[in-house]
Chain A
């Protein structure tokens, strides 16, 4: 048991670094949507967004727009859509004023 756990750790550590990149390559159809919120995104709001939105199914990247009120979400089109993501924002008490599909996903 002890050796097994150790083996697992060594494996996890050595493969860990390339893990994320590999995961991204596997993903096929990515879409990017912009969500304009009803308020300026304060530092605590960022904590809230970063603590929740990445854990929505299908979300692969997150960024903020220059205007201080939009969040750019990259996600797998086969796993989620803008409607579901909008609901996710509402669940953490943000109102979404506008949803923009910036990049339509294309199959590789």
Chain B
């Protein structure tokens, strides 16, 4: 918990301008024993002291805006933003297991870290990991990650879906900067709304997470942290081009206006407007896309008060359907989407105490307007979603053992939605309160229990309990368990509007209920010393069971998609994963992982009343991943190679007579590779995605007759575009 608070402080706080007194504090190791003789000094002024036998130190404040550095041989050096001048500081040094007699430069930190201290199982994908692949946006950042799958939802719109624990992406809560984002209508294309170059890191947690961020997150949570104006480089530029003539520019700049005020500006433009039809089915393999994305964020720190503000605007145009460049068609089937999205957020925090018994209060407010004008051939679909989110949080450490976090929240979603001529306007306001208690027994046993009560204007009261447990009897073994409930309001059309790229009838039952599920999981992580390095071995199992779900049924009728309540039916998902990684020699890391997924659901034929209990369609049974990365000793070259073996699965049921597709799809392999050459302030990269050019044959059913009953672009299980070769440049003016 203290670490969480330190993290919070690091995110929120820096140094006040003037100081007159001495800063006092303690340096402790992970077992809470004092560290004697640690060096404590101000980073710029170089004024330093050492800690005494109690781990205690006193140091004069300086006039500069600078970090306090705490070093001790054999421990990881800590850099702390000091905010509270008058309160004693507590610094916990972590043992540096990698450190030997001599520090070797270019000892790489692994790209994906399992957060040892986190109570819930959390993985952090670092910038280094993001740079291992072409990574133009968030959707492309998981290629080297075994837990998260990102796949195209259909072969016409370019909509992409995340899958976690064998569940669809809508059950994964998306957060940016730790507040919910990209809900509802933004979910099908939201993966493309965060440029890779803007991100500082991605946090993935599986299972139900903390109740702080709401009652959603049935399968897990993905939090994206953007680069911070306080710490990011002065300037960075990323240029990208691929053999398919996709062009992309990303630029960002961090500006320190004064000691208290910092700002950052981010710009992204991408253009992928060449027509490609390699399988010659007359349809574009993927849509022509243009995106413009702009973000500005501010950070203001004045003593105990910290404020953040952010603004974002996205315009995206997509154009898919029949290829008209090389074919002359009188009336081509076309899909056009024009999206405009504006976002704002602010976080205001006040830190009462920042010592070992921290206490803070914060307000988070965010809002967005998302407008999508789309035309699926002859079917117009227009939707506008307005969202407002307010959250008030208070946190206090009563002692090293007991921490309480509590808060209030309000979320409003309003939809103006029109499909052809029918309109589906609706809104929902959910107000709620939560309390979360953490019991921490010497960092060996941590128990985190949370409960929230919410009231929805559509569904009434509901209670969300969640419990997490972490036990590490020894430093090398971390055991975690979690059980909890999650709820979600399904916005079927908004979240699935890519399904309009088919001739299927859309049947939405009246009075869809709120989705409700239990999730339970266990996880064990072992850090096994082997030579002077460590093998990291992780095993996990998660089970999700729906009490109520909005079933997306493409099985009962090959010419329809139905959405209806699961009611008394069964729906569950099991996911088991093992992962091992080992840095074989300096600069080289190999990770191998295998995941098995089994998702079942009842599908009820609305006409015959017959119910079938089937595995979820278009879901891979398993995934194997092998990823290797090598960096030369002086970090001048880096080589990355990743192979994914995606298991087969079930296709939706085809028509009994004259079926147009198979019952199953086969396993397939995708290999990606990249070479990066580093120079003093820039690097060049060259890589290939899907090196062996695997493509799903005939991803569009009856592509020749897009207005026939059989046309369907949503039967997609594999890559729709083949090998992509790309090259790019990253340039930075670093901030040291």
Contact = CB atoms under 8 A, between A and B. Distances in A.
B637 A47 contact: no
A66 B103 CA distance: 8
A54 B106 CA distance: 11
Interface string B54-87: 0000000000000001010100010100000000
A64 B106 CA distance: 11
A61 B633 contact: yes
B734 A51 contact: yes
B219 interface: no
Number of chain A interface residues as a range: 35 or more
A13 B634 CA distance: 18
A16 B635 contact: no
B680 interface: yes
B546 interface: no
Nearest to B39: A40
Interface in B593-644: 630, 632-637, 639, 641
B104 interface: yes
B474 interface: no
Contact of A6 (B41, B69, B101, B688): B688
Nearest to A50: B105
Given A6-B725, A20-B637, A51-B734, A43 B680 contact: no
A44 interface: yes
A13 B671 CA distance: 12
Contact of B675 (A9, A42, A54, A63): A9
Contacts of B102: 63-66
Is chain A's interface secondary structure helix, strand, loop, or mixed overall?
A: helix
A61 B39 CA distance: 27
B687 interface: yes
A59 interface: yes
Contact of A55 (B41, B104, B680, B723): B680
A46 B76 CA distance: 14
A45 to B, nearest CB: 7
A78 to B, nearest CB: 18
A18 B639 CA distance: 11
Interface in A1-25: 2, 5-6, 8-10, 12-13, 16-17, 19-20
A69 to B, nearest CB: 11
B406 to A, nearest CB: 36
Contacts of A48: 734, 736
A79 to B, nearest CB: 14
Contacts of A61: 105, 633-634
Given A5-B725, A19-B637, A13 B736 contact: no
B295 to A, nearest CB: 25
Interface in A58-84: 59-66, 68
A63 B588 CA distance: 18
A16 B86 CA distance: 54
A42 B43 contact: yes
A100 interface: no
Nearest to B631: A20
A39 interface: yes
Nearest to B42: A42
A9 B102 CA distance: 36
A43 B79 CA distance: 8
B25 interface: no
Contacts of A39: 46
A20 B105 CA distance: 15
B679 interface: yes
9 A-B pairs with least C-beta separation: A54-B634, A16-B639, A20-B632, A55-B680, A62-B105, A48-B736, A12-B675, A64-B103, A13-B673
Given A9-B673, A52-B680, A62-B105, 11 more contacts: A5-B686, A6-B688, A13-B639, A40-B39, A40-B48, A42-B69, A44-B43, A50-B106, A54-B635, A55-B680, A68-B71
